[in-house]
């Protein structure tokens, strides 16, 4: 069980302040309007930026990278940059892409507890090198370039950068996890705490 979170710095918008776009988005999201996703109801305080961010984030979630690879990268980025909100919300998305419970635990702790496919290991190394050194090494780049074209390499780097950004923004705003997401995160050993 995780510690009691600090209060949000900007409270999620109450339902009485949702516009039509936000209401539609929440209706189609996990939890619907009964347990609205706080990422959306918080970032909607800045509606123009929120709308543009949705397009960018959606493009990454529906990009060219294989779904399993995308979710591995998102989960590892969330783990390395202490993004508990994104971690919690991508656990089931990762499971739907074939990430096993043992792999989920390894993503949140030590990658060495699982034998990774070399290409997936290179993508995870790209996350770790970004966290440790601020850039992907030549060795990792070469391994990735054996499998990805130039456009997909850019997409992979943008995916890492996007979830690094989200992790830090949501942590600074203290966006609270919804109860169901909190329970899901508590079910997986390891992972970010913040």
Give the DSSP per-residue string, 164-190. HHHHHHHHHHTPPPPHHHHHHHHTSSS
Confidence (pLDDT) at 3? 60
Closest by Cα among 38, 59, 9, 39 to 172:
9
Confidence (pLDDT) at 1? 47
Confidence (pLDDT) at 91? 97
Confidence (pLDDT) at 193? 83
Q: Provide the whole-model pTM.
A: 0.95
Pair 184, 91: CB distance under 8 Å:
yes
- DSSP, collapsed to helix, strand or coil, labels residue 125 as helix
- DSSP, collapsed to helix, strand or coil, labels residue 112 as helix
Name the strand (E) or helix (H) holding 153.
helix 150-173
Pair 125, 77: CB distance under 8 Å:
no
CA distances from 117 to 10, 57, 122 (A): 41, 26, 9
User: How far is residue 75's CA from residue 73's CA, in Å, rounded to a whole number?
Assistant: 6
Cα Rg, the chain, nearest whole Å: 17
User: How far is residue 114's CA from residue 102's CA, in Å, rounded to a whole number?
Assistant: 7
Q: Which tokens belong to 4?
A: 């009691």
Q: Is 66 exposed, middle or buried (0-12, 13-18, 19+ CB in 10 A)?
A: middle
CA angle 23, 28, 16 (to 5 degrees): 20
Q: Digits of tens for pLDDT over the chain (194 positions)?
A: 456 778 999 999 999 999 999 999 999 998 999 999 999 999 999 999 999 999 999 999 999 999 999 999 999 999 999 999 999 999 999 999 999 999 999 999 999 999 999 999 999 999 999 999 999 999 999 999 999 999 999 999 999 999 999 999 999 999 999 999 999 999 998 899 87
Confidence (pLDDT) at 140? 98
- DSSP, collapsed to helix, strand or coil, labels residue 192 as coil
């Amino acid at each position: 069980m995780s510690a009691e979170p600090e209060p949000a710095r900007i409270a999620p918008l109450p339902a009485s302040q949702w516009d039509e776009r936000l209401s539609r988005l929440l209706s189609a999201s996990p939890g619907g309007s009964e347990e609205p996703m706080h990422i959306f109801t918080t970032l909607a305080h800045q509606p123009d930026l929120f709308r543009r961010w949705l397009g960018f984030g959606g493009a990454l979630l529906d990009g060219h990278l294989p779904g399993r690879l995308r979710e591995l990268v998102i989960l590892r980025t969330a783990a390395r940059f202490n993004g508990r909100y994104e971690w919690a919300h991508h656990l089931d998305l990762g499971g739907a892409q074939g990430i096993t419970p043992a792999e989920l635990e390894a993503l949140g702790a030590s990658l060495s507890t699982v034998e990774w496919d070399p290409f997936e290991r290179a993508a995870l190394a790209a996350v770790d090198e970004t966290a440790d050194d601020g850039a992907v090494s030549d060795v990792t780049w070469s391994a990735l370039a054996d499998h990805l074209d130039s456009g997909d390499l850019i997409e992979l780097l943008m995916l890492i950068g996007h979830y690094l950004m989200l992790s830090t923004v949501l942590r600074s705003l203290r966006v609270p996890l919804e109860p169901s997401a909190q329970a899901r995160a508590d079910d997986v050993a390891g992972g970010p705490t913040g």
